[in-house]
Amino acid sequence: MSVKMARPLSLIFLHMIHRVSAADWAVNYSFPHICALKDSSVIMSCTYTYPTGHQIRKAYWTKDPVKAVEPTDLSVDPEYSQRLQYLGDEQQNCTVRLSHVTEKDEHKYYFRFNTDKIEGRWLGSPGVTLNIPDIQLESPERVKEGDSVRLTCRSSCELTDTPTFIWYRNSHTLTEGTIGDKLILNPVRREDAGRYRCAVHGHTLTSPEVYLNVTYPPKSVSVSISGSAVIMSGDSVTLSCSSDSNPPAEIHWFKGKTYIGSERIFNISKISSDDSGEYKCKTRNDHGGKYSYPVTLDVQYPPRNVSVSINGSAVIMSGDSVSLMCISDSNPPALNFSWFKENQSSAVGSGQSFSAVQSGRFYCEAHNPHGAQRSDAVTVTVKGRPLILHISIGVGCGAAVVIMMLLIWMQKRNDTVELQNQSRLHHESSNKFTDPVYENVKTNPSRPHHDSGDDMTDPVYENVEISEADLIRSAVHC
């Protein structure tokens, strides 16, 4: 059947003359299509027949014959001469070997023979088509983490011998998941992303590299703060949000719950205490979103707005005290305070509160590790009883004591006189019945009266006694 296709016209002519059956002239190629790896040796198996009575004059291989042009013998072609080896014979075996094949050898090869007879020229169709395949790695361009992925190593023609494939990721040989011409990653992990290629064991043939892009939602989202550990008011602070995601995530910054920006880096130049708070970033891509842990910015500053607060009135009575409090806004809170009295160089007190007992203008100074600030002064007035009042009280007391003493003395004197008068009357009235006892009484007139007065207290005398105690007390007061 091959004869029909490629038999040269001359041969047809000859056959017609000699009425030779087509079966007499034949070339049989065992493998009309050969797919061979680069650098390998190819054996083109071939048998041929020709009518008896012919003698082979020339048997050779040629390629890509052109009609009506005598085919060239490859064994004289410098491209082939070194690599072509005829393994056949002059009877029926026309097998040939071509070594170190390359892409340049991709042609159609034919066996050609000539016999001693003029009509004995034969070109065996359909020839042998030689393909030198390359290999390609077929892989989805992009896969989602967790999916099942199949990579296939394909050659552009079906290799006659099933080769052993070798797989590489980022130039490292892979052994797991390889089945024949397939590499199965199930489930695919993000670490599986990389440059893949496959190769044929024992050959230099290797596929081009294919990047396997494994996409995944953001993971390990974190915020980092540039600069020193202690943030001072006025510093420049850079917050950066980092996340591991593929494709890269969109970033959203939040302070508390308020959205504040969408750059990967969030800059705060000249930070102020208003910028203190919790910051976090949210990262999102097609596969999901994730928040970072919040970071707290604690903006520190020296004491400010220092003032003195007075508990109660700043006007106090002598002997009382007023409590002054040093109020300050500072971060970290001020723990060290000093109190001063205006126009006195040394401190008059320490501690957040101070008890003022003197008049004067007082101010405090609040300290924290970043500095100190003083307050405005407050005036404390101590109102004593005025000096003139003291004197008048003193004089008054003295006078009172003197007057009292005088009164008591006078009272006592009156009493005695009165008693004497009474006893004299008594004596005169009892003159009628003179009694020796009464006589005795006479000598000490006040005595019996006093004795008899034991049961009934003399009101005058009692009053005097009370007044005396009072006087002593008021004198002490004075």
Ligand X SMILES: *[C@@H]1O[C@H](CO)[C@@H](O)[C@H](O)[C@H]1NC(C)=O
Residues that bind ligand X (CB under 6 A): 26, 28, 30, 47, 87-88, 93, 95, 142, 213, 215, 238, 246-247, 263, 265, 267, 304-305, 311, 325, 336, 342-343, 361, 367
Give the full edge-to-edge strand order of the sheet including 96-98: 42-44, 96-98, 84-86
CA 278 – CA 296 distance, rounded (Å): 4
> What is the CA angle 298-304-310, rounded to 5?
125
**Would you call 21 exposed, middle or buried from its count of C-beta atoms within 10 A (0-12, 13-18, 19+)?**
exposed
Q: 18: how many CB neighbours lie within 10 A of its CB?
A: 12
Residues with Cβ within 8 Å of residue 341, at least 6 apart in sequence: 348, 358, 360, 361, 362
Distance set, CA 116 to CA 47, 54, 55, 99, 119 (Å): 19, 6, 5, 31, 9
Q: How far is the CB of 304 from ligand X (least distance, A)?
A: 5
Q: What is the rounded CA–CA span in Å between residue 302 and residue 330?
A: 6
CB of 276 to ligand X, least distance (A): 15
Q: Which is nearer to ligand X, 26 or 464 (CB)?
A: 26
The CB-of-196 to ligand X minimum distance in angstroms stands at: 13
- Cβ 406 to ligand X shortest distance, Å: 49
Show the CA angle centred on residue 315, arms to residues 314 and 321, nearest 5°: 75
| Strand segments (E) across 286-344 | 288-291, 295-297, 299-311, 315-317, 322-331, 336-341
Closest CA to 261 of 279, 278, 235, 247: 279
Cβ nearer to ligand X, comparing 81 with 311: 311
Give whichever of 181 and 365 is closer to ligand X, judged by the CB atom. Answer: 365
Query: For residues 165 and 340, which CB has a smaller minimum distance to ligand X in the complex?
Result: 340
Q: How far is the CB of 375 from ligand X (least distance, A)?
A: 12
Question: Nearer to ligand X by C-beta: 261 or 445?
Answer: 261
52 or 452, CB closer to ligand X? 52
Q: How far is the CB of 96 from ligand X (least distance, A)?
A: 9
CB 120, min distance to ligand X, A: 18
Tell me whether residue 133 or residue 217 sits nearer to ligand X (CB atom): 217
Strands 142-144 and 210-225: parallel
